[in-house]
Structure formats: structure tokens, C-alpha cells
Structure 1
Amino acid sequence: MVLSPSLMRKKSVLKSQFFNFIISAMALLIMPGCGSKNTGSPVHYQANTENCTRSPVAFVSDAVLMGRIKSKFMSDDMVDDDSIHVKVRHGVVYLDGWVTDTYQRRMAQDLVRSIDGVGRVVSRLKLTNQGTIFRTAD
């Protein structure tokens, strides 16, 4: 079987495009994300990862983690997942929104902590009901 010159050119172009794609993907994977500051002190520094750029690998890892968290929230009847906004950056989970009481806030935090791959949970959940206040008839 003999290939025509136009078909050979198309194969050559496809090979070079594939090669360029592989090189680009490798360059993106090697690029650093957020670096930690080395201050020279023995105290461990945790960078604020919320606004850091992410590599494609970190982006996919965070997206998978987000899916696990959302499915865990949806399967749990005790947590109102409609009012909780979840953000994942470099394995750190940020919880924002409103919950009705401290029990729901604690349940949401514990559910997130129970998932493999979660490095840290930053809870900024606010309470809509501060609790019941009992007053006497006096």
C-alpha cells in the first residue's frame, strides 16, 4: 500500500502537532504554582493558597476533590448544601455561606475533613440562627 503525498503531509503535520502538544503539557506540569517563603526561621510557613495560580495537575486534583465534597454534601441529610459554597485550592477547602446552627457548621467541617486528599479546612460559615434564647416570665 502506497500513501499519497498529501496523506503523508497530513500525517507529518499531525505528528508535529502531537509533539508540540506533549512539549507544552510537560512545560505546564513543570511550572511552579505557589511557592512558600523561606524566611530562615524554624517556624513552618503556610502560604495563602486561595489566590495562587495552579498547575494543570493541581487544577484537576482540586476538581476531583470538589466533586467528592459535593457528592458527600448531597448524600448527607443533615447539611444544607444549597447555602454552602465550596472552593478548593491546592488541597485546602474553603467553606463560605450560611448555616442554620453550630451543629450544621460542625457537620459540614467534619464531612470535609473525612475525605481523603483534604489538607486543611478553612471555615467561614456564618450562622443564620444564633441559638435559642430562653426568657423567663419575670
Structure 2
Amino acid sequence: MPAEAAAHNPTIAAAPIRNRSDNELAREVRRALTRTPNLHSTGIHVQVRHGVVTLTGWVPHRAQVQRASNAARSVRGVRHVNNRLSVRTRGAGGH
């Protein structure tokens, strides 16, 4: 069984998560954002450089700024999160 093989072989069990590329981390952060409950992530842009995530763009509610940071930090391999999100409510332009 592959699970048993991984349990007996430390090389297989210890995946090199620290060596993930910035592109892989960006993909995983985007996935974490879309899976986070009560987070409207379509206005969020993700950049990663040397494991440091920068979130830019907007969310519709102030509480979602912190949710986005928490989601990005939850991704293994992320070293730091720079959260530059702003709050933009729908209809703010006078609808």
C-alpha cells in the first residue's frame, strides 16, 4: 500500500513543502481564499515573491480583510503576508 510505504520511508513522508515555487504558493493561496467561508475573493489579487504573499485589491466588508490574511497564512510554505486590501462596498458609487 502506498500509505504504508510513505510511513516507512521518510523521504516519501517528508514532502519538500519549503521548496514550493512562488507560482505554486500563489495557486494554493488563491485556492485557500476561494474556499474560505464568508470571503468574497473575486476582487483579491495574489502575488508571491520568495514565499512572501502580497494581497491587493478589495473586499466588500472590513472583517474579510483579516479573513483573507488568515487564509493566506494557512498555506504551508507562506513566510509572510502583506495585506494591502481595501474595503469597497457595493453601490458606493451611488446606485
TM-score interval (norm. to shorter): 0.5 to 0.7
Is 1:121 the counterpart of 2:81? The answer is yes
Which of 29, 42, 49 aligns to 1:89? It is 49
Could you tell me which runs of 5 or more consecutive residues in structure 1 were left unpaired when the two chains were aligned.
1-57, 130-138
Number of equivalenced pairs:
71
Normalised to the residue count of structure 1, the TM-score between the two structures is 0.48
Provide, for residues 97-125 of structure 1, a one-character-per-residue CA deviation record: whole Å limited to 9, x for no partner. Answer: 01112210000000111111111100111
Is 1:61 the counterpart of 2:27? The answer is no
Matching residue's letter, 2:70:
D
Matching residue's letter, 2:32:
K
Normalised to the residue count of structure 2, the TM-score between the two structures is 0.68
Which of 50, 69, 81 aligns to 1:109? It is 69
Could you tell me which runs of 5 or more consecutive residues in structure 2 were left unpaired when the two chains were aligned.
1-18, 90-95
Provide, for residues 62-90 of structure 1, a one-character-per-residue CA deviation record: whole Å limited to 9, x for no partner. Answer: 01101111111122231112100000000
Query: Which has a greater percent of strand?
Result: 2
Alignment partners' CA distance in 2, 1:80 and 1:97: 11
Is 1:70 the counterpart of 2:68? The answer is no
Name the residue aligned to 1:27: none
Alignment partners' CA distance in 2, 1:98 and 1:75: 17
Q: What's the C-alpha RMSD, in Å, of the aligned pairs? A: 1.5
Which fold has the larger relative contact order, with Cα–Cα distance below 8 Å and residues 6 or more apart in sequence?
Answer: 2
Matching residue's letter, 1:126:
S
Alignment partners' CA distance in 1, 2:54 and 2:28: 14
Matching residue's letter, 1:95:
L
Query: For the pair shown, which has the larger CA radius of gyration, 1 or 2?
Result: 1
Query: Structure 1 stretches (4+) deviating beyond 2 angstroms?
Result: none
